[in-house]
Chain A
Amino acid sequence: MVRAQPLTNRGVLLSTLATSLLAASEAADGGESAFHAPTVADFFPPVIFFDGTPFEINRIILVRFLAAAVVITLFLVAAYRAKVVPGRFQNAIEMILDFVRRGIAVEVLGEKNGAKYFPLLATIFCTVLFMNLTGVVPFLNIAASSTIGLPLVLAAWVYVMYLTAGIKAQGLGGFLTSSLFPPGVPKFLYLLLTPIEFLQVFVLRPATLAIRLLANMVAGHLMLAICFAATQFFIFNADGAMKLFGAGTLVAGLAFTLFEVFVAALQAYIFAILTAAYISMSVEAEH
């Protein structure tokens, strides 16, 4: 659970910033605040197309389409113009794929299974990466993975993949035995361990995959939105010396933007490496 660390840090930062902002805004004009704090409503923007059907399209879905179009175009163009001696663009794309292949697939799963599951890991890594990065793109300003749908679908895909991988490799019985009854433990401990392992394998793994990504992206968006909303407020609505705070929050917004780029890549990496780890745990009898 070390991976929740960025979230905790940001949670703390978020609350301190929010309280200071609230105090500041109250001090500024005694009640009627011009400060527009970001809300959860940001993640449920008004419907644009197909209202009332399961195919409703809002701003976030459009951002998602755009991110998908970008990642598909980039990789298709790179793939179909790929030459034996790569150019700069091809090198960049190959670097990403090579990172997934060596750093994740082969590293966690070994040569044989690494090659087998490389397409899955590459697809997941690139999808998450590009969907995350829209959070820092001007005018998009929201991560395409910041509503539960996308993380959930990806997690469900991973869930199906690691369960089938385990059943294929060890058979249904073998897979259940090796996952639910970890070897090398005194028999009576199974009373305690088996329910935990069951929860782990069948509920917590996909749930944490989805929620970790979602929470990071939501928190990231809220952080950025707070920083820039505060900047807006301090510079245009605050009096006198208070305007100086605007510079501080602008710099903070800039820093958080860079941090969000890092988090976008980190979360893509975490999602992919956990996928590899779960598959590895499924295909290997002992873990």
Chain B
Amino acid sequence: MMALTLGSAAVSAAAESTESTESNILLPEMYDITWSIVIVAIIGVVFYRFALPRFQAVLDERTALIQGGIAKAEEAQQAADAALAEQQVLLAEARADAARVREDARDEGKAIVADHRTKAAEEAARITETAHRQIEAERQAAAVSLRSDVGTLATELASKIVGESLADSARQSRVVDRFLDELEAAQGVVSTSKGA
């Protein structure tokens, strides 16, 4: 309202100082309206149809690009994080595996060593025992063979010396046994005294 009165006041003041004109500045001339409509229409069409939609498209594209970039970066970050986590899990697993393997190996080594030790001990005991048995057998064989050989020899020797054939085998054997027993007894005394 104030603008209106002031505007017209200013205008009329300006108008008064000059020669009178027919035109009132507030009353539109026909051509003024015509061309104003034409120009506003043209600018309006250009802005609505062409300029603003193009700008909007570019703005949207830019927004999409920025959002896409952000999304991509986030994705990459997530992938990296996931990879890192996975790597750490794998690393921990690998460490645990290694520790377990080491532990197993140690246990196994211990077991093997112990096993070998017992086996060796058994083997040694077995060998010793075999040897003892063999020795005993040989000793007994030797004793038997010696007994018969010595008997024969002694008998032959005695026969030769006595000149008398000890044909009677029973007697012969009795004599030999007695001799050997005596011999053994003497030997036993000697070996025990030696052993002592």
* Chain A residues close to B by CB (< 8 Å): 1, 3-4, 7-8, 10-11, 14-15, 18, 22, 37-41, 43-44, 47, 50, 53-58, 61, 64-65, 68, 71-72, 75-76, 78-80, 82-84, 93-94, 97, 118-119, 122-123, 126-127, 147-150, 152-154, 157, 204, 207-208, 211-212, 214-215, 218-219, 222
Does A152 contact B36, Cβ atoms closer than 8 Å?
yes
Least Cβ–Cβ distance between B114 and chain A, in angstroms: 77
Question: Contact at B14–A75, with CB atoms within 8 Å?
Answer: no
Q: Which residues of B pack against A, CB within 8 Å?
A: 1-4, 6-7, 9-11, 13-15, 17-19, 21, 23, 25-37, 39-40, 42-44, 46-48, 50-52, 54-55, 58, 61-62, 65
Known: A76-B46, A122-B52, A211-B26. Contact between A3 and B17, CB under 8 A?
Answer: no
Which residue of the partner chain A has the closest CB to B52? A119
Number of A-B contacts (CB under 8 A): 181
Residues from chain B with Cβ under 8 Å of A68 in the complex:
39, 42-43
B51 and A79 contacting across the interface, CB-CB below 8 Å: yes
* Nearest neighbor of A50 in chain B, beta-carbon distance: B31
Instruction: Known A-B contacts: A7-B3, A40-B11. Give 16 more (CB < 8 A).
Output: A7-B10, A11-B10, A18-B13, A22-B17, A39-B17, A41-B18, A47-B31, A56-B29, A68-B43, A149-B28, A152-B33, A207-B4, A208-B1, A208-B4, A211-B7, A214-B25
Q: Which residues does chain B contribute within 8 Å of A76, judged by CB atoms?
A: 46, 50-51
Which residue on chain B has the smallest CB distance to residue A148?
B28
Chain B residues, CB < 8 A from A119: 47-48, 52
B64 to chain A, nearest CB (A): 9
Q: Give chain B residues whose Cβ lies under 8 Å from the Cβ of A118.
A: 52
CA distance A265 to B34 in the complex (A): 25
Q: State whether A8 touches B6 (Cβ < 8 A).
A: yes
Prevailing SS type, chain A contact patch: helix
Smallest CB gap from B30: residue in A: A54
Complex CA distance for A20 and B69, rounded to whole angstroms: 66
Are A208 and B3 also in contact (CB < 8 A) when A57-B31, A97-B55 are?
A: yes
Provide the residues of chain B in CB contact with A14, threshold 8 Å.
10, 13-14
Contacts of A44 in B (CB 8 A): 21, 23, 29
Which one of B2, B18, B32 contacts A148 once the chains associate, using CB atoms below 8 Å? B32
- Name the distance in Å between A102's Cβ and chain B's nearest Cβ: 12
Among B19, B25, B31, which residue has its beta carbon within 8 angstroms of that of A218? B25
**In contact, A157 and B47 (Cβ under 8 angstroms):** no
Interface centre among B1, B47, B62 (most CB of A within 10 A): B47
Residues B51 and A56 in contact, CB atoms below 8 Å apart: no
CB distance from B10 to the nearest CB of A (A): 5
Residues of B within 8 A of A71 (CB): 43
